[in-house]
Amino acid sequence: MSQLSLAVDVAGLRLRNPVMNAAGVLGMSHSLLRRIYEGGVGAVVTKSLGPEPRHGHSNPTLVTVEGGALNAMGLPNPGAEYFIDTIRALNGDGIPVVASFFGASIADFRDVAVVLSEAGADALELNCSCPNVEEELSMLGADPGNTEKVTAAVKEAVDKPVLVKLSPNVTDIAEIAVAAERGGADAITAVNTLKGIAVDVDFRRPILTNVTGGLSGPALKPVALRCVWEIHKAVEIPVVGCGGISDWRDAVEYLLCGASAVEIGTAAMKEDLDVYGKVANGIERYLESNGFKEVKEIVGLAHEA
């Protein structure tokens, strides 16, 4: 009788379990990413890396709101070249690495992807969905044609699995996912944050310096789940679910809606790095108690109900 296994294969990215950290959360150093892996993830996801160092927006950049948090960090990062040694060190530790990246042009996306791929990243997550850095990502936005072009350019330049991370701030996310698939995407990550605002009633002005920010946390989950559901129905490639996962039940909901793996961000900031292991263990208990042997047996199962 075969034993239960949490291992999954997401478009060639082999993971010991279907749980990862979300890009932008605790993904800035070798030591911290190693701690995240030791905490129980199947792979680590880096901070989004660009062609040049970027300071991001000035403070305040983060505010707690009901049901989650709003952030307007503005993609601060040391640049892709700076991160090469970190990726190589993680490789040396035997830790699978998904490198998140962005650019201001098709050439930027392609060039950064090449740098990160040659550094040893096991997969690349193309960030075309940050809601508070319009100048970098306005070429993509909600445009299927540009999403397809950027994805195709990256796929022509690298031979690693490419996950395209999409925004929920669009009219038809399935259409964008299909465009990414046409461009050669190996998987879709759904979703990034929802655009929102918080106001200080005493000072009578927006709290964030950037005015708007991205909403993450439990309040995002119903929207993100809907996006995963729609994308799973529209494409043939795997989906990675992201948004508002706090415990194993949330993660299983994503799997049932069609996600092959999940990413967790805000919950790790509010709790601790143990959340990753707790979620993975919870998925394992769910599979065992319901007679399943592999994660893929429950992927998209809610569509068959």
Q: How far apart are CA 178 and CA 267, in angstroms?
A: 30
What pLDDT was estimated at residue 161? 98
Q: How far apart are CA 19 and CA 229, in angstroms?
A: 18
Q: C-alpha distances in angstroms, 36 versus 89, 120, 226, 278?
A: 14, 19, 28, 12
Paired residues of 127 in beta bridges: 165
Choose the catalytic residue: 128, 130, 227, 242.
130
Q: How far apart are CA 30 and CA 183, in angstroms?
A: 32
Q: How far apart are CA 24 and CA 132, in angstroms?
A: 13
What pLDDT was estimated at residue 136? 44
Alpha helices (H) in 100-203, listed in sequence order: 106-119, 134-137, 144-157, 173-182
CATH homologous superfamily of 8-58+74-194+220-304 equals: Aldolase class I (3.20.20.70)
Q: How far apart are CA 219 and CA 222, in angstroms?
A: 7
- Residues 6 or more apart whose CB falls under 8 angstroms from that of 134 comprise none
Q: How far apart are CA 113 and CA 80, in angstroms?
A: 9
Supply 167's token pair. Answer: 């925004």
Long-range contacts of 226-229 (CB under 8 A, 24+ apart): 227/166, 227/168, 227/173, 227/190, 227/191, 228/190, 228/191, 228/254, 228/257, 228/258, 228/259, 229/257, 229/258, 229/302, 229/303
Paired residues of 197 in beta bridges: 212
What pLDDT was estimated at residue 139? 47
130 is catalytic: yes
Give 10-residue mean pLDDT values along the chain (305 residues).
89 97 85 95 97 93 95 92 97 98 93 98 90 51 88 97 96 97 98 96 97 96 98 98 97 98 91 90 98 98 92
For residue 283, give the nearest of 10, 94, 20, 13 by alpha carbon: 20
β pairing state of 261-264 and 19-21: parallel
For the chain, what are the domain ranges?
A: 8-58+74-194+220-304
In this structure, are residues 154 and 122 in contact, taking their beta carbons and an 8 Å threshold?
no
Q: How far apart are CA 186 and CA 179, in angstroms?
A: 12
Helix (H, G, I), strand (E, B) or coil at 205: strand
pTM of the predicted model, to two decimals?
A: 0.95
What pLDDT was estimated at residue 142? 74
Q: Residue 193 carries which DSSP code?
A: P
Q: C-alpha distances in angstroms, 170 versus 10, 142, 237, 238, 271?
A: 25, 6, 20, 20, 30
For residue 197, give the nearest of 216, 218, 212 by alpha carbon: 212
